[in-house]
């Protein structure tokens, strides 16, 4: 087969980058840790943590359970943004709460709305250090006829360094807190008007929610921020609050094997695996974490995943890279590897970014790959990029007062695709 000039030029670049990656740490160390705000938000705290906060400001023990339930309702059912709106709480208690806490979420720095209805928000996370520059993350909302999916970030930057992923080329700044993760859902519902208003039917009684599905597929590796992700998703799934079913929440991981079982046992959400290759030597290049947790070990963790069944299949994400992982031999080995795992395979056309050495597979080849996998008995939808007109400018958002650095612009890339 004759290679195109583009493919030929990419080969030495890939070899050089692979050598650099082989000598680089598999996991990055966070440059910063979260510094608590002087007046913290109550968003993202568990009921037990809320109880402790109320105890700390002198709320009598006999009142704490009731006050927690009131706060929970106003924050997660009504979506109020200040204590004054919590009219079932006395004025004195509201004033006391407001003197110590907020119910703030991340600040919306910019919003982009695609022709197809996809929305992307650039969110600023306030810093607890005086003079410290605030960091930004993005989340993306993808509306469908029967659902609305919100793609949520778990880190500023990413722990990993997957070679085809733009965010993976950047530094890891820090993990997000449970408050900052839940806050992304709060912002989306704020912007979409997706809260129960006064006099409206309670959630689950005929009221269709615009944000109905959550995918942890934004910036970062969720399983390297396990505790905060777990705590946030348990709040999101709580039936007395936001109330998104665990079946409608999907956590995507590149394969942090020790925390996969914990995800099933402690969170209980649907699982997606960023697989992208069927041979260890290639996956070592595309997903260098594979050198620590190779394919066989990763797939065994999937076979053992609590709750996996034909009714609740594990999704395997497979980005289609021209001449790299898209041959029929790759498709055949993929089917062989997944035998015995209740699985669905999402084929993702690669979206090139500046400096990438990869190209998207030809559409004809994607169709052949998909057909083989489908005929072998697996659902294999090709995930269609959404909001392409705004994703083209991804990372070029800026606030009114300052332009993001080139490094930060490149890091702000959230996956915005759907089945």
CATH of the domain at 355: 3.20.20.70
Whole-structure pTM value: 0.86
Task: Establish whether 360 is a catalytic residue.
Answer: no
What letter does residue 223 receive in the DSSP assignment? Answer: G
Spell out the long-range contacts of 393-402 with Cβ–Cβ below 8 A and sequence spacing 24 or more: 393/112, 394/120, 394/138, 397/109, 397/110, 397/112, 397/122, 397/138, 398/109, 398/110, 399/109, 399/110, 399/124
Give the pLDDT score at 12. Answer: 60
Residue 381 has what pLDDT?
A: 85
- pLDDT at position 311, please? 86
Which CATH number characterizes residue 75's domain?
A: 1.10.150
Which residues, 6 or more positions from 306, have their beta carbon under 8 angstroms from its beta carbon? 261, 264, 265, 268
Q: Where does a domain end: 65, 84, 100?
A: 100
Write down the pLDDT at residue 20.
54
pLDDT for position 412 = 35
DSSP characters for 230-258? HHHHHHHH-TTTT---GGGEEEEES--HH
Report if residue 6 sits inside a domain.
no
**Residue 302's pLDDT is what?**
97
Residue 11 has a pLDDT of 54
Pair (23, 96) in one structural domain: no
1 within domain boundaries: no
Within a domain: 133:
yes
Please indicate, yes or no, if residue 96 is contained in any of the structural domains: yes
For residue 8, being part of any structural domain is answered with no
Which of 139, 158, 165, 394 is the catalytic position? 394
CA distance linking residue 405 with residue 401, whole number of Å:
13
Statement to judge: residues 181 and 271 lie in one domain: yes
201 shares its domain with 71: no
Clarify whether residues 94 and 109 are in a common domain. Answer: no
Question: Of the listed 136, 138, 285, 408, which one is catalytic?
Answer: 138
The residue ranges of the chain whose pLDDT is under 70 are: 1-24, 130-131, 198-207, 384-419
The pLDDT of residue 21 is 54
Tell me the residue range of the domain where 73 lies.
Answer: 47-100
- The answer to whether residue 339 is domain-embedded is yes
pLDDT at 116: 86
Domain-located, residue 41: no
Question: Given this model, what pLDDT does residue 128 score?
Answer: 75
Number of domains in the chain: 2
Is 138 catalytic? The answer is yes
> What pLDDT score was predicted for residue 351?
84
């Amino acid at each position: 087969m004759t290679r195109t000039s583009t493919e030929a030029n990419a080969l030495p670049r890939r070899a050089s980058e692979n050598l650099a990656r082989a000598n680089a740490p598999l996991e990055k160390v966070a440059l910063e840790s979260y510094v608590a705000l002087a007046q913290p938000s109550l968003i993202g705290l568990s009921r037990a943590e809320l109880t402790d906060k109320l105890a700390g400001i002198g709320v009598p023990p006999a009142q704490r359970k009731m006050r927690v339930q009131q706060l929970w309702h106003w924050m997660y059912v009504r979506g109020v943004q200040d204590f004054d709106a919590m009219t079932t709480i006395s004025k004195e208690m509201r004033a006391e709460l407001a003197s110590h806490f907020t119910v703030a979420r991340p600040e919306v720095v910019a919003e982009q709305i695609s022709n197809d209805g996809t929305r992307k928000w650039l969110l600023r996370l306030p810093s607890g250090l005086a003079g410290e520059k605030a960091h930004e993350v993005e989340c993306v909302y993808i509306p469908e006829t029967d659902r609305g999916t919100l793609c949520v970030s778990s880190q500023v930057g990413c722990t990993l360094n997957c070679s085809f992923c733009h965010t993976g080329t950047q530094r890891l700044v820090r993990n997000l807190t449970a408050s900052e993760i839940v806050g992304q859902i709060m912002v989306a519902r704020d912007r979409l008007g997706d809260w129960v208003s006064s006099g409206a039917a309670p959630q689950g009684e005929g009221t269709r929610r615009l944000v109905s599905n959550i995918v942890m597929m934004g910036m970062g590796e969720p399983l390297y921020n396990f505790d905060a992700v777990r705590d946030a998703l348990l709040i999101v799934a709580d039936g007395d609050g936001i109330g998104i079913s665990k079946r409608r929440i999907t956590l995507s991981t590149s394969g942090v094997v020790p925390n996969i079982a914990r995800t099933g046992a402690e969170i209980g959400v649907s699982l997606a695996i960023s697989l992208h290759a069927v041979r260890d030597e290639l996956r070592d290049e595309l997903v260098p974490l594979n050198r620590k947790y190779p394919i066989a070990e990763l797939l065994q963790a999937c076979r053992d995943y609590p709750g996996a069944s034909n009714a609740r299949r594990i999704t395997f994400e497979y980005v289609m890279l021209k001449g790299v992982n898209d041959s029929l031999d790759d498709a055949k080995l993929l089917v062989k590897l997944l035998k015995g795992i209740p699985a669905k395979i999402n084929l993702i056309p690669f979206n090139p970014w500046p400096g990438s050495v990869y190209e998207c597979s030809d559409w004809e080849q994607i169709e052949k790959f998909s057909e083989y996998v489908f005929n072998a008995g697996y659902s294999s939808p090709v995930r269609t990029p959404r909001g392409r007109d705004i994703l083209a400018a991804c990372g070029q958002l800026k606030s009114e007062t300052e332009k993001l650095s080139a490094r930060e612009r490149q890091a702000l890339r959230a996956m915005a695709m759907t089945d």
